[in-house]
Structure 1
Amino acid sequence: MIRGLCRCLFFILLSSMLGLAWGQQESSRALSDARSRARIHAELGAAYFQAGNPAVALEELEIALASDSSYFPAYSIRGLVLASLKENAKAEEDFKRAMALAPKDPEVNNNYGWYLCETGKPRQSISFFLEALKSPLYETPERAYANAGSCALKAGDQDEALGYLLKALQFSKDGGALPRMLLARLFYQQGRLDEARIYLADAMKLIEPPSAEILWLGIRLERKLGNRLAESSYVAQLRSRHPTSSEYQDFLKGNFE
């Protein structure tokens, strides 16, 4: 009788343990599925944002966060989208949420740093780029260095900017179009016009089609060098490619500095 009772209790206990294990497995699988959905929709959101469709990007990011509200990359990406729409209060909330969930993540730090720089806090932004660079797993350190250089330029620290931009060039895997353009701008500001021309020409080979920013720099650079033919070529490209840009409006107004 006792032996039968023990056997019965054993099977009850075993059944309970198996049920618990199965429940944990199901819970783990559900969490994994939710995280996968969040990742997929966050990546779609980033792709739509890069393609110039912020409205659809926001829809995808909403789905990502509805799937997994702790998926911090979605907050970081949504912060960038909202910032591009000038919804800075909402963007700030998303960046703060991402930073709270993943304070050491390099992409989160890089994105928040860029947001700060773009909203008038270039000096404050640099510490976040440097935090991103501390991660040995960061796959694109050239971006953080280039961003740090750009923001140091905005903060008026040309020496610091030069150091960061040369580092960005050192780590670049695609020829370094952005750091080369920024170095051209830096040397232009310093009056080192021949060096600026070299870096600008290198950047032009890598940026297709050329942005309004790089063409406007070319116009001002060649104007200072007295090369009217090259200046006219840049003007023609700016007029045909970016007629509604602020750079072309500055040209029409004669705001060369």
Structure 2
Amino acid sequence: MLYKTLAKWLFISSIALFVTACVITQSNRDSMSKQEQANLYLQMGVRYLEMDMLKIAKGHLENAEDIDSGNASVQNILGVLHERLNESEEAAYHYQNAMRLDSDDASIKNNYGRFLCEQGDYKEGLELLKQALVMPLNNKKWFAYTNMGLCEAKYGEQAQAEYNFRQALRVNKNYAPSLFEMQKISYRAGKYMSARAFLERYLAVSKHNAQTLWYAVQTERALGNKQLTEEYRAKLFSLFPGSKEAQQLNTAVK
């Protein structure tokens, strides 16, 4: 676990160094085309977005838009940014711009389709995700499969959701979001050994969050493993004391 933590820290640090280098080279921007400048700001915006430094990411992405407002990728990532900022109207505006500029981009359809599902437009959202899935140049189909599954699960299509999560894992066996969804599905179906197995696979590629720990507690309790139940419970209270999952466990004990 310590190695994984350090590896992640080093990865983030390497991104920060790369971004710093990009900023320094801006002194040469007079020799760059407008498109090159916009793409550079876009790259920096994406990296800060990945690091959850949303304010800095927003500045870079807005610079990219000022230089090249007709860049579909810039509009797409601005949609993601505003979605992260819980600014739904702004997110929709940028996703729609991205679709208008390049309706054949699988990433744009995937992001906008997922967004529409989360906003309650199940039919149109799912249709866009299906379109993204079958696009010939889409080499990351697990994103669309997973987003389709999330959309279907939200609207009660549990069997179809499970099918799509399994399809996502068929093309990318290590995709953490689908592994987590299968952990939940297995637990709810009473398949506790399967839930444990999906958690183990999840932890091989990602780290615990409050939800994975809550399901881990419930799973080990159902399996009668008191030691692991208490270990997961303690970890949940230690790492995520203010989470609703910790509060639920605390209430259950009382």
| TM-score bin (small chain) | 0.7 to 0.9
Alpha-carbon distance in structure 2 between the residues aligned to 1:191 and 1:121: 31
**Secondary structure of the residue that 2:204 maps to in structure 1?**
helix
Residue in structure 1 matched with residue 11 of structure 2 by the alignment: none
Residue 52 of structure 1: CA displacement? 0.9
Equivalences for residues 25-64 of structure 1 within 5 A: 33-64=33-64
- Structure 1 residues without counterparts, runs of 5 or longer: 1-29
* Residues 253 and 49 of structure 1, relative CA distance in 2, 3 Å threshold: farther
Q: Residues 129 and 147 of structure 2 are in contact (CA less than 8 Å); yes or no, is this contact kept in structure 1?
A: yes
Equivalences for residues 1-257 of structure 1 within 5 A: 33-122=33-122, 124-172=124-172, 175-208=174-207, 210-254=208-252
Residue 252 of structure 1: CA displacement? 2.6
- Structure 2 residues without counterparts, runs of 5 or longer: 1-29
Q: Residues 69 and 75 of structure 2 are in contact (CA less than 8 Å); yes or no, is this contact kept in structure 1?
A: no
2:111 counterpart letter in structure 1 = N
What whole-Å deviation, never above 9, does each CA across 1:137-193 have from its counterpart, x for those lacking one? 1231111111212222222112111221111111116x2322222111112222222
Larger Rg, first or second structure (1 or 2): 1
Number of equivalenced pairs: 223
Q: Residues 58 and 81 of structure 2 are in contact (CA less than 8 Å); yes or no, is this contact kept in structure 1?
A: yes
Alpha-carbon distance in structure 1 between the residues aligned to 2:121 and 2:213: 26
Residue 217 of structure 1: CA displacement? 1.6
What value does the CA root-mean-square deviation take over the aligned residues?
2.1
Alpha-carbon distance in structure 1 between the residues aligned to 2:205 and 2:172: 12
**Secondary structure of the residue that 1:74 maps to in structure 2?**
helix
Residue 123 of structure 1: CA displacement? 5.2
TM-score with structure 2 setting the length: 0.80
TM-score with structure 1 setting the length: 0.79
Residue 124 of structure 1: CA displacement? 4.2
* Residues 254 and 46 of structure 1, relative CA distance in 2, 3 Å threshold: farther
Alpha-carbon distance in structure 2 between the residues aligned to 1:40 and 1:153: 38
Question: Percent identity at matched positions?
Answer: 29
